[in-house]
Structure 1
């Protein structure tokens, strides 16, 4: 028994090291003088904290961060609302054709972005939604739906039938059952889905690159390409820009860490 616990802790420590070592390498690289040529994990002789301000200015991060926030602020609540409603309808209400619809959403999980982005561009161009935030928001919400519906279906399938039946006996309509009975006990699952949606929306690169032709209206990850030249790459500034881009994700995760972990473990335990 002790040996099994030791193995599990050993695996967790190994995974932690595998995640933290590259992160520490990026931090060290970001603190070298601009233009420095780096070789492995080297400690900078002089800590260049000004790299972050310089990377922010050169990468036009003010405009790009504004675009990322604007898109995420609309994508996350819209996607979560649609996923909750769809999961509720397919699992609790058992709408007509729910099994076929569920299978369709699961199949949607297998579609890679590279396969559909070109067709999606031409479809949105026909209705005038390219080079606009509206097109990107709608596209991301649609692309995130398969996982969100699958996630909420899995959560609602663990809700005891007696709880829903008791609410209906008391005269509660379908919408009231969702809002007053199921959602209060579903916040961990909803919070976890919201954090995942925010992370995916914030990190979205290819979709924004294809749909948004105006460089000043693209999102933060697209700004990283400004630090990569044809012949040379400014590694310290690129590393500093990477830390700037991932900082909001880290902050959001830390703020919702407890609910996020609760939602993950809740989905792994039946009953």
Structure 2
């Protein structure tokens, strides 16, 4: 039985406000990107003669092709490694009695409080001493380390909701902790891992500060990192700037729309089990 309208009204208002907060900026950017180059669009106004070629011009001017490849390689290196490490660490902290696990978890929580701006300078000198500065490998390792506190926290929260009886039954059948993880816990954690991979993809793709500071070669930066060069070249051309920004945002929007079910499923599962 559905709740009365008076009870559902606040939630509907919040959903409508969130929808407008997300859609209005995108609509404004789209209409601005379709105006003639050199003009300054004001507000949301659909042009009489949409200039769709602005997206092609922005792609060529910003040299997005090598940056797209670089971002894909970075995602391929960060997301699987971070998800695997976080899943195993979350299982150890959530299901096993790991010595020093409480201390390790507190350190992870402290890592969540550190802003990236406070760590970027020490990371720069550390990568320089290791010979990994200006390399895609160094940027990959940095992103895995930065995402790890939240990723482990996310997976630990999932494994805490898993009944202890599953592990006990597996141990009675002769399965060790590793076999229990691979055959029982990992398959049940697919929704949580899928939603975590979605978040990791979004964060990796939108990496900006690390790509600018730690990588000098523009061809090895991310698409988001290329936005700085694009703004420097066309700081007065609002039309091309909006077209380039939409090109950079498009993959994240598409991926989120395709895999949002996994994210919502994991959130609902965590709410029900909690």
Question: TM-score band, normalised by the shorter chain?
Answer: over 0.9
Counterpart CA distance in 2 for 1:47 and 1:101 is: 56
Give 1:256's match in structure 2, choosing from 255, 259, 267. 259
Paired position in structure 1 for 2:104: 101
In the alignment, what sits opposite 2:16?
Answer: 13
Name the CA distance, whole Å, in 1 between partners of 2:200 and 2:273. Answer: 24
Tell me the equivalent position of 2:80: 77
Greater mean alpha carbon deviation, residues 255-264 or residues 195-204:
255-264
Task: Answer yes or no: is 1:181 the counterpart of 2:191.
Answer: no
Instruction: Indicate if the aligned counterparts of 2:191 and 2:266 stay in contact, CA closer than 8 A.
Output: yes
Task: Say whether residues 1:213 and 2:222 are aligned partners.
Answer: no
Kept in 1, the 8 Å contact 2:234–2:241? The answer is no
Cα distance in 1, alignment partners of residues 273 and 254 from structure 2 = 30
Change in Cα spacing, 1:231 to 1:5, as seen in structure 2 (3 Å) is closer
The two structures have a TM-score, normalised by structure 2, of: 0.95
Question: Which consecutive residues of structure 1, in runs of 5 or more, have no partner in the other structure?
Answer: none
Q: CA deviation at 1:216?
A: 1.9
5+ long unaligned stretches in structure 2: none
TM-score by length of 1: 0.96
Quote the offset at 1:229 in angstroms.
4.1
> Which of 165-174 and 137-146 deviates more?
165-174
Does the 8 A contact of 2:198 with 2:263 survive in 1?
yes
The answer on whether the counterparts of 1:227 and 1:233 sit within 8 Å (CA) in structure 2 is no
The two structures, once aligned, show a CA RMSD in angstroms of 1.4
In structure 1, C-alpha distance between the alignment counterparts of 2:84 and 2:122, rounded to whole Å: 26
Q: CA, structure 1 residues 76+231, in 2 after alignment: closer, same or farther (shift >3 Å)?
A: closer
C-alpha separation between the residues in 2 aligned to 1:131 and 1:246? Answer: 24
Residue 232 (structure 1) shift: 4.3
Q: Do 1:28 and 1:44's aligned partners in 2 also have CA atoms closer than 8 Å?
A: yes
Secondary structure of 1:269's counterpart equals: helix
1-structure distance, mates of 2:167, 2:185: 8
Alignment of 1:69-218 (within 5 A): 69-218=72-221
- Counterpart-to-counterpart distance in 1, 2:68 and 2:234: 27
Tell me what 1:33 maps to. 36
Answer yes or no: is 1:56 the counterpart of 2:50: no
| Structure 1 residues 73 and 130: alpha-carbon distance in aligned structure 2, compared to 1, 3 A threshold | same
Separation (CA, whole Å) in 2 of partners of 1:161 and 1:261: 25
User: Which whole-Å deviations, capped at 9, do the CAs of 1:50-88 have from their partners, x for residues lacking one?
Assistant: 011111100010011111110011100000011011111
> Which 10-residue stretch deviates more, 183-192 or 259-268?
259-268
